[in-house]
Chains A and B, each alone.
Chain A
Amino acid sequence: MISRLTAITLNTFREAVRDRVLYNLILFVLLLVASAPLFGQISIGMERLILVNVGLSSISLFGVIIAIFIGIGLVSKEMEKKTLYTILSRPVRRWEFILGKYLGLVMTLVVNTALMTAGFYIALLITNGLHKTDALLLVAIYFTVLQFLIVTALTILFSTFSSPIFSAIFAFALFVIGTFAEDLKNFAAISKGAAKLLATAAAYVMPNFASLNVIAQAAHDQGVGSGLILFNTLYALLYSASAVAAAVLIFERRNLK
């Protein structure tokens, strides 16, 4: 079981690594990070703040784009090219396939983020020199990776029952809604009756990306408590595990045409 899972994970990773689109996206992020000092020159003394904001936001946004862009094709491409048939006719369980694909994409995103983080720190070093407080930025990046776990799981969930385009739209819509999750909670607090019920339910069901975004705090050198790190880790793991489990449940019952 483990060897089949690793084989699928590594093959998914290899597919992403050999895709040129991925390199273009990484290059774009690195260029953006590199150009951040130019923005800084507009406002004196703000270089670091702008670099951190632009850099971390680009890592997050492009990571999400990569997760969705590759995620929507993970299952549908295998069906379209009939490679899935050659897999399911072997002693591979359907859940192993879905989980392997998920882990492969997560691995891709972790490696990408590591590369982009390295680029980001080089930019910091060149413009400002590295300081002790810069280590705090790693927490913000770690939270970004947690976001990727959830986005990837949701994208795979959608791709098990809808077309790639709809999967992308659904996943991106949820990412946007999740980014404003706090507003949804505030709305629930002030509304009444059925609206309150619906808004509260939605606030809990929707992924909470807002609490996983500490870029602004990090940019102002504010630390993040270890309690929040632990809570967010558990939240991301549970949320993505549920989404992957749902994806498996749907995929197990699916007739593959």
Chain B
Amino acid sequence: MFAIEIQGLSKDYAVGFWKKQFRPALKPLNLAVRTGETFGFLGPNGAGKTTTLKLLMGIVSPTSGTATILGKSFQDPEVKRRIGFLPEQPYFYDYLSAPELLDYYARLSGVPRERRNPKIDELLKRVGLADVGDRQLRKFSKGMLQRVGIAQAIIHDPEVIFLDEPMSGLDPLGRHEVRELIQGLKDDGKTIFFSTHILSDAEALCDRVAVIHKGELRGVGAINDIRTSVAGRSEVIWDGAHALPAVSGSLIESHITGETVRGIAHSENIDSLLDQLRRQRARLISVTPLHGTLEEYFLAKTSEQEKVIS
């Protein structure tokens, strides 16, 4: 079951005053996010991440394509009761206190009167702002504001949560706190779709990620697969230096320490390598796939030539 299904969603912005030209901010995008999944939407600044989120939230209208959220059209007002959204670096109403702000958003989301106050207290506690009292938001630090931001996104207990760059502009402590909050939502079984350009955050939190660059989807995959696919290499350790000359053709590099050999081979050569080692009666100690980093994947995907879309 998919919580979010994006089908060919695209957006062109008109630029120029007299002679209008259309600049694609998002090329037709197809993407599906499973229920309960934490999905990272990665891309450098200006890649089209925010545009995608604005389209899904109905803030801008698509040039073409459509999307469903929780099985209904993304434009269905009913869907909006069941989703939460945190825009990138919002400032909120700085003349309000945190409880007032949350009360306002709870009303707009149709949270019944009797559930509002207990919910606000519970959420303020959850985001670590139980003791802020009536202090106005203008006196809040950036990290505190971001936590209020997450609280407003979940005040109505949504099933799907969209977060636009939730960690940007925060210090390491603030980032850690926000990361913990997202982890908590993930543990609650919420579907989380968040855009970021901070790869370590995506690596720590996401089940799957998509990479978008210049308005175009460059790759989608599970974090574990991605790491393996980037590397595509394995480390093989065995006892028996005598076997090395026979297998050296399958190895990219090797080191000998006494009788123990540590060799690196392409993953597709591993089977034949192991066969040869057995034939040479070498004693196998371990075979470990080498993980690449998300960063390597990201850099590889964003440096690929732009595909021509007909």
Taking CB atoms and an 8 Å cut-off, the chain A residues in 39-94 that contact chain B are: 81-93
Contact A15 B85 (CB under 8 A): no
Contact A255 B81 (CB under 8 A): no
Contact pick for A11, options B57, B83, B104, CB 8 Å: B104
CB distance from A117 to the nearest CB of B (A): 26
Which residues of A are found within 8 Å of B59, using beta-carbon distances?
Answer: 84-85, 88-89, 256
Contact B81 A91 (CB under 8 A): yes
- Tell me if B2 counts as interface (CB < 8 A to partner A): no
Contact B57 A14 (CB under 8 A): no
CB distance from B223 to the nearest CB of A (A): 27
Closest chain A residue to B51 by CB distance?
A: A257
Contact A93 B77 (CB under 8 A): yes
- Tell me if B109 counts as interface (CB < 8 A to partner A): yes
- Tell me if A3 counts as interface (CB < 8 A to partner B): yes
Contact A89 B93 (CB under 8 A): no
Contact B91 A86 (CB under 8 A): no
Question: What 0/1 pattern do residues 4 to 26 of A give for CB contact below 8 A with B?
Answer: 10111001001100110000000
Contact A86 B90 (CB under 8 A): yes
Most-contacted residue by chain B among A4, A14, A85 (CB, 10 A): A85
Which residues of A are found within 8 Å of B88, using beta-carbon distances?
Answer: 82
* Cα–Cα, bound, A4→B77 (Å): 13
CB distance from A18 to the nearest CB of B (A): 4
Question: Given A86-B105, A91-B81, A3–B110 Cβ distance below 8 Å?
Answer: yes
- Tell me if B152 counts as interface (CB < 8 A to partner A): yes
Which residues of A are found within 8 Å of B57, using beta-carbon distances?
Answer: 85, 88-89
Which residues of A are found within 8 Å of B96, using beta-carbon distances?
Answer: 11, 14
Contact pick for B104, options A7, A81, A82, CB 8 Å: A7
Contact pick for A88, options B13, B58, B107, CB 8 Å: B58
Contact B91 A81 (CB under 8 A): yes
Which residues of A are found within 8 Å of B108, using beta-carbon distances?
Answer: 4, 7-8, 87, 90-92
Most-contacted residue by chain A among B59, B80, B90, B107 (CB, 10 A): B59
Question: What 0/1 pattern do residues 71 to 111 of B give for CB contact below 8 A with A?
Answer: 00000011011011111111111011000100011011110
For the A-B complex, the count of residue pairs with Cβ-Cβ distances under 8 Å equals 82
Which residues of A are found within 8 Å of B86, using beta-carbon distances?
Answer: 86
- Tell me if B183 counts as interface (CB < 8 A to partner A): no
- Tell me if B54 counts as interface (CB < 8 A to partner A): yes
CB distance from B169 to the nearest CB of A (A): 13
Contact pick for A82, options B58, B91, B110, B162, CB 8 Å: B91
Closest chain B residue to A97 by CB distance?
A: B108
Closest chain A residue to B81 by CB distance?
A: A91
* Cα–Cα, bound, A82→B84 (Å): 15
* Cα–Cα, bound, A81→B101 (Å): 15
CB distance from A60 to the nearest CB of B (A): 27
Contact B95 A19 (CB under 8 A): yes
Contact B90 A91 (CB under 8 A): no
- Tell me if B222 counts as interface (CB < 8 A to partner A): no
Which residues of B are found within 8 Å of A4, using beta-carbon distances?
Answer: 107-108, 110
Contact pick for B89, options A15, A82, A88, CB 8 Å: A82
Contact B110 A91 (CB under 8 A): yes
- Tell me if B250 counts as interface (CB < 8 A to partner A): no
Which residues of B are found within 8 Å of A84, using beta-carbon distances?
Answer: 59
Which residues of A are found within 8 Å of B153, using beta-carbon distances?
Answer: 86
Which residues of A are found within 8 Å of B60, using beta-carbon distances?
Answer: 255-257
Contact A11 B61 (CB under 8 A): no
Contact A91 B109 (CB under 8 A): yes
Contact pick for B61, options A7, A86, A90, A255, CB 8 Å: A255
CB distance from A84 to the nearest CB of B (A): 8
* Cα–Cα, bound, A82→B96 (Å): 16
Closest chain A residue to B60 by CB distance?
A: A255
Contact A90 B90 (CB under 8 A): no
CB distance from B108 to the nearest CB of A (A): 5
Which residues of B are found within 8 Å of A81, using beta-carbon distances?
Answer: 90-92
Question: What 0/1 pattern do residues 218 to 253 of A give for CB contact below 8 A with B?
Answer: 000000000000000000000000000000000000
Which residues of A are found within 8 Å of B110, using beta-carbon distances?
Answer: 3-4, 91
Which residues of B are found within 8 Å of A83, using beta-carbon distances?
Answer: 90-93
Question: Given A7-B104, A91-B77, A91-B110, A86–B95 Cβ distance below 8 Å?
Answer: no
Contact A90 B54 (CB under 8 A): no
* Cα–Cα, bound, A81→B57 (Å): 17
Question: Given A3-B110, A7-B104, A85–B85 Cβ distance below 8 Å?
Answer: yes
Which residues of A are found within 8 Å of B107, using beta-carbon distances?
Answer: 3-4, 6-7
* Cα–Cα, bound, A199→B234 (Å): 85
* Cα–Cα, bound, A185→B89 (Å): 52
Closest chain B residue to A81 by CB distance?
A: B91
Contact B87 A85 (CB under 8 A): yes
Which residues of A are found within 8 Å of B93, using beta-carbon distances?
Answer: 11, 15, 83
**B residues touching A (Cβ–Cβ < 8 Å)?**
13, 54, 57-61, 77-78, 80-81, 83-93, 95-96, 100, 104-105, 107-110, 152-153, 156, 162
**What 3 A-B pairs come out closest when comparing CB atoms?**
A89-B85, A7-B107, A81-B91
18 contacts between A and B (CB under 8 A): A6-B107, A18-B95, A19-B95, A82-B90, A83-B91, A85-B85, A85-B87, A88-B59, A89-B57, A89-B58, A90-B80, A90-B81, A90-B108, A90-B109, A91-B110, A255-B13, A255-B60, A256-B59
